[in-house]
Structure 1
């Protein structure tokens, strides 16, 4: 499997697949290598929050996930068999995307299908074993002895990333919880399937989540247990969890029949010291790991992928300097640090080790979580739709949305007056958004030279004033204003370099790069 590529992506999980889709859609020659013999079939992560769904929509990979998924409605918490509170999902109705309760395996299927439509197939059984980099690129050697030469390497190969290790990037962290047991099982009479359920007990917590499945009786059971150093078999994990149902939950009539998947894991929080070492970049679990509670892992990794994809595509094309890639770490590492902080805090509150911590949890925290305002805020935070980069190197000041802020999806008119949405117009394209269809004309020369063939135009009748908004491919605002010269300066300070002038006088939004594969 020798050869070349502009970018090699190591790892075919959600992060690596999303990155490869974004790169391929922008016309980048990409190869995806994975150590596994084939795709994973187990669920692992089981929720795609709203931000993740929006990214997949921009990648044209959402497909039928809305139909395949169910809407998460919340979790009922109990102590000593008594219902304490129902923590309900309270989605923002102003948004066009909401969380989807769907298996990670299904998400990966949809991403692989989109990647295949873009002409790229995953190369299974080819994990990265060695790498060497120089000023011009990276040479990757795989376990099978093959070698690939590329301009850039993206390590999306998980918490035990070989790429991160070979690149010499530190991965400091600390343990949060000693040991958790997990099993996806077919079971009867655990609870109703309208909600997830959790039971607090002085021995630990037990959680049961209904999983989408044709049988209608697939559950995910999770519980923390002391670490006695023993290695547990799948049968022992299932027996241990089944035995906790009467003890921790007071459920005596449940029947656990068989296991689909089991796991034993420790919860750590770790954050890479940097997301880049020369021509090697990290994304997803290779860059950060944290508690699975809150379902933030898959979504955070997909967010990394989208942020990196448009920047790396510009650098590969020669339309931006390498300094643009420095904004990737500057924007995404603080976002991951915040996720680590939140998930660690919520996990420690949930597990509540010690009598005082349990008292506060059961009589103070649950009362707060029962408030509608708290549930709306928790849902919004988990959605990651409020994520902003305004304090980063591509951020700025001014009225909302500020540079670095996410621009909310909306109905727009595209070139030629075609109805569409902002999300549908983005990725891999940028969008110049205005309230007047004629406004983009005065920005034509600047955008033609700096971002040739990559800017669509959109008109929003509700947009007031003469300002135009230049929205990045990942849905965040780069610049707003009325002066083309100031836009040119902003692009230059971001590291986006104007190329040689093109003879075409076609307005932005109608001059597409012919090499870029179309959206399906």
Structure 2
């Protein structure tokens, strides 16, 4: 198994495979791990992924505790959105933590599991046949050809795997020039608040970072700006757009100029080559969805790829990866693009909608709750997908196949209390006191299943990514038929 790219998606995928006993090689063309912050927002769904893997560590303690997002115009606060509430059905809240810190935690877990990242290794060619993929990897001046049963491109927006595998990646540019800098400054702004200011000249946003007096500043700019002039331009835009004057920059950790695109791969799988994370989708950073969407991809793909690699499932199961995850990315692209254009107020009509309609609505608690749930990605489901086809059940008000299962309190076979998500760790979970079903899941899944007791009217079989796979009366034949069909054809039937 070859994973290309050692960002969050590639590391989660690598850890997921190693947890299930699948040997994996991870390569990255960068000479060493990145130390710049890059993505900041780790939403509740992403936190759950790390928690279930055992990679969360002390990230919650190291993250900035942000209670709200403030949006102002002309010196007046228009909107204040609360972000300090734990979403319903989760133990976790949004963490403002750098991508570098997330990757560090994942690399620690990878090493504990016996894996490593081969830095300075660039994929420069690949071809596949029925038995595997031949991959050309350049390291320094040498190019070596190796074979892998499967290759997953987690190598970002400029993915070599996507290009070499001839995956279509259509899309369009949303914003031409965005300036970004992680800067030390003391300007009296509360560090428990992320802030944005809107004006006819554009938007300016500031996010507190974990280190004292360190802030992430972001602003669109109409003209092109060189990498050496980012701080100079931001120092001009800050007073003009925020009203804060006399603010002195005390040095920058990182600066960047970037363009916002929205692109979505036409396919996530071509034969034995697959894409995940930014290699499959890129979009606006508004809403902090990029990192979380990539983690969700790897979380979904890991258990499926492990079953195929171990011979317990047919390769057809991998088709459900695209069927389940591509619609999620499409929805994220649509939502973040709309939010970006509305926030930037491109055009008089959008400015009026933003200031006079959207702003009052965003102050409503009911609207904020809906936004928080959407941003958390806890509502992501795979109902009506190949593994959870729709069935008519007019009186059914319970959890449905394909939906995320909350972190329920359960009991192990020895009677000790535990949490469902803590027990998954790459495994399936059979919930309920239904011993006749245990033989079925162990026959088809091996040791990758944990039995948990909980008072329930039906038995539940929970997937390793915490989505409900199957539920029903404890009839072994029915569960056997469902699970065998999923493993053989990639469809629940």
Query: TM-score if structure 1 supplies the norm length?
Result: 0.90
1:353-411 Cα deviation digits (max 9, x unpaired)? 11221122111101000111111111111101111001210114453311111111111
8 Å CA contact 1:169, 1:272 repeated in 2: yes
Any unmatched runs of 5+ in structure 2? none
8 Å CA contact 1:170, 1:273 repeated in 2: yes
Aligned to 2:451: 457
Aligned to 2:487: 495
Aligned to 1:29: 23
8 Å CA contact 2:65, 2:192 repeated in 1: no
CA distance, structure 2, for counterparts of residue 449 and residue 338 of structure 1: 38
> What SS is found at the alignment partner of 2:379?
coil
CA distance, structure 1, for counterparts of residue 419 and residue 58 of structure 2: 18
8 Å CA contact 2:66, 2:191 repeated in 1: no
Aligned to 2:69: 75
Alpha-carbon offset, residue 255 of structure 1: 1.1
8 Å CA contact 1:78, 1:199 repeated in 2: yes
> What SS is found at the alignment partner of 2:54?
coil
Alpha-carbon offset, residue 495 of structure 1: 2.5
Is 1:111 the counterpart of 2:106? The answer is yes
Aligned to 1:188: 186
Is 1:217 the counterpart of 2:200? The answer is no
Alpha-carbon offset, residue 231 of structure 1: 5.1
1:143-201 Cα deviation digits (max 9, x unpaired)? 22123211000000000000000001000001111211111101111622120111101
Is 1:61 the counterpart of 2:59? The answer is no
CA distance, structure 1, for counterparts of residue 160 and residue 118 of structure 2: 17
Alignment of 1:54-453 (within 5 A): 54-89=48-83, 90-144=85-139, 145-189=143-187, 191-213=189-211, 216-226=212-222, 228=223, 230=224, 232-234=226-228, 236-396=229-389, 397=391, 398=393, 399=396, 400-434=398-432, 436=433, 439=434, 441-453=435-447
Alpha-carbon offset, residue 264 of structure 1: 0.8
1:75-132 Cα deviation digits (max 9, x unpaired)? 1111112211112214325421221111110000000000000000100000111111
Any unmatched runs of 5+ in structure 1? 1-6, 498-520
1:13-57 Cα deviation digits (max 9, x unpaired)? 000000000000000000100000000001101111100010111
> What SS is found at the alignment partner of 2:131?
coil
Is the alpha carbon distance of 1:476 and 1:414 closer, same or farther for their aligned partners in structure 2, counting shifts above 3 Å? same
> What SS is found at the alignment partner of 1:319?
coil
CA distance, structure 2, for counterparts of residue 23 and residue 104 of structure 1: 21
Alpha-carbon offset, residue 444 of structure 1: 2.7
Aligned to 1:510: none
Task: Please point out which of 478, 488, 491 is paired with 1:486.
Answer: 478
8 Å CA contact 1:432, 1:456 repeated in 2: yes
Alpha-carbon offset, residue 460 of structure 1: 1.9
CA distance, structure 2, for counterparts of residue 257 and residue 240 of structure 1: 15
8 Å CA contact 1:190, 1:254 repeated in 2: no
Aligned to 1:3: none
Query: TM-score if structure 2 supplies the norm length?
Result: 0.95
> What SS is found at the alignment partner of 2:185?
strand
Aligned to 1:469: 460
Q: How many residues align?
A: 479
> What SS is found at the alignment partner of 1:133?
strand
> What SS is found at the alignment partner of 1:183?
strand
Aligned to 1:15: 9
4+ runs deviating over 6 angstroms:
none
CA distance, structure 1, for counterparts of residue 164 and residue 272 of structure 2: 12
1:252-278 Cα deviation digits (max 9, x unpaired)? 131112111111111111000000011
